[in-house]
Amino acid sequence: MTTRAAGAARGFAASRVVTCGEQGVIENGVVIVDGATIVYVGPRDGAPAGVPIEELGDRVITPGLVDAHTHACWVGSRHAEYAARAAGRDYREIARAGGGIVSTHRAIAAATEEDLAAALRARLRRMASLGVTTVEVKSGYGLEPAHERKQLSAIARVAREPGIPAVVPTLLALHALPPSAMAGGASGRAAYVKTAVELTREVAQDRLARFVDAYVDENAFAAAEARAVAEAARASGLGVRLHVGQFADVGGAELAAEVEAASVDHLEHVSPAGIAALARANVSAVLLPIASFTLGQTPPPVAALRDAGLSIVVASDANPGTAPTESLPLALSLAVRTYGLTPEEALLAATRNAAASLGLADRGVLRPGARADLTLWDLPHEHAIVQPWGVTKTYAVIIGGQPIQGP
């Protein structure tokens, strides 16, 4: 496929066009894009004449996938921890001994902004080849303000480049205590939270992030600590996403509802009252089955989340510790096989629902007027997308109207 100038309309015809929107599945459908925008989605006989159409045959077209939770801006490797955990060592015990998030913090602190940009760029290209066209990327391994800013600057730098998924940057303001704050005991901890609040305001002012995140858990930060950064985020015009209930329910869901967070992520541990609060506040539930797979955890209460009417999102959680992956399709596969989502739920969870949780109304659905982000699958049916292929099954990926050139 060749790159065309913006404005040159062209179409794609396939046996199944899965819109993830009001038009449902269109058999023998056509999608026409003009520049960076979709201009037609529908049956072949209603398509405007005179537009060159590429025939894909017995293949599937979906909206480009949206990965709504990643920590993709990292360097280093935690392979020794992974092996130790597989042999029975506990994730939290490794963290307490100075490994885990703090071990990646050391690698980030030693890296330059260009090192981080290069690692992120390569990862995003590979994600695109897997069918992903928008990626949320968190900071959160810098831990100290200068290194958090370095991560966010690397993310911003890569986000401006062509040929990669669209990037939604998130300041992960509270992830772990850096060694400098740990040494200060309770007052060091309180001072660190204050610094995170200040950083939130500065990052909002410098437009380096659209969301702020905090890790609310028994081995991380209390709801009261996270409330401080969440309120600063809201007051500065940023949205809030929260890591909640990965290991224990410490009131993160209630906090998320209170601050009208866009999403709560993980949710292995959440009470019925917490779920009801999330439903009332319309907070999206982001499920991260790769992390719970690598940690050998029991799945979240998916049936209760579904019954409460929560919008369910599935994301990769791409990170060097709990989700050493770059594959949202792998997350979808585990969401179906280990969490019990239907293939339809899983696909919506990585398209329409994921985009909505990021406040992106222009994607995740195939419809005229939407951004021209399409994944053309070398598969005969959308249910095949959630099979655990372990290799890319895309035929082509179009981001903002431009075909990507491969990783």
CB of 71 to Fe ion, least distance (A): 6
Q: Which listed option, ligand NIG, Fe ion, none, makes contact with residue 104 (CB within 5 to 8 Å by class)?
A: ligand NIG
CB of 293 to ligand NIG, least distance (A): 11
Structure tokens at 6: 């913006």
- Binding to Fe ion by residue 326, rule CB under 5 A? no
By beta-carbon proximity to ligand NIG, the closer residue of 214 and 332 is: 214
Residue 10 CA to residue 241 CA, distance in Å, equals 37
Task: Kindly list the strands in the beta sheet with 284-287, ordered across the sheet, starting from the edge strand earlier in the chain.
Answer: 65-67, 132-138, 166-174, 211-216, 239-244, 263-266, 284-287, 312-314
CB of 232 to Fe ion, least distance (A): 21
Task: Give the end-to-end CA distance of the chain in Å, rounded to a whole number.
Answer: 15
At residue 116, what are phi and psi to the nearest 5 degrees? -65, -40
Q: Which listed option, Fe ion, ligand NIG, none, makes contact with residue 322 (CB within 5 to 8 Å by class)?
A: ligand NIG
C-alpha distance from residue 211 to each of 87, 134, 230, 326 (Å): 36, 15, 10, 21
- CA 210, 164, 13, 336: dihedral to nearest 10 degrees? -70
Q: Which listed option, Fe ion, ligand NIG, none, makes contact with residue 12 (CB within 5 to 8 Å by class)?
A: none
Task: Name the DSSP class of 369.
Answer: T
By beta-carbon proximity to ligand NIG, the closer residue of 215 and 293 is: 215
Torsion region of 388: left, alpha or beta (phi above 0 gives left; psi -120 to 50 gives alpha): beta
By beta-carbon proximity to Fe ion, the closer residue of 38 and 287 is: 287
Residue 296 CA to residue 16 CA, distance in Å, equals 36
The interface region with Fe ion, picked from 123-131, 147-155, 160-168, 311-319 by CB under 5 A, is 311-319
Position 287: which residue type?
A: L
CB of 139 to ligand NIG, least distance (A): 12
- Binding to Fe ion by residue 67, rule CB under 5 A? no
CB of 141 to ligand NIG, least distance (A): 7
By beta-carbon proximity to Fe ion, the closer residue of 317 and 345 is: 317
CB of 119 to Fe ion, least distance (A): 17
- Binding to Fe ion by residue 317, rule CB under 5 A? yes
- Number of residue whose CB is nearest ligand NIG: 321
CB of 342 to Fe ion, least distance (A): 24
Binding site for ligand NIG (CB under 6 A): 100-101, 104, 215, 243, 246, 291, 317, 319-322
By beta-carbon proximity to ligand NIG, the closer residue of 17 and 286 is: 286
Q: Which helix (H) or strand (E) holds 289?
A: helix 289-294
Structure tokens at 272: 């019925």
Binding residues for Fe ion (CB under 5 A): 317
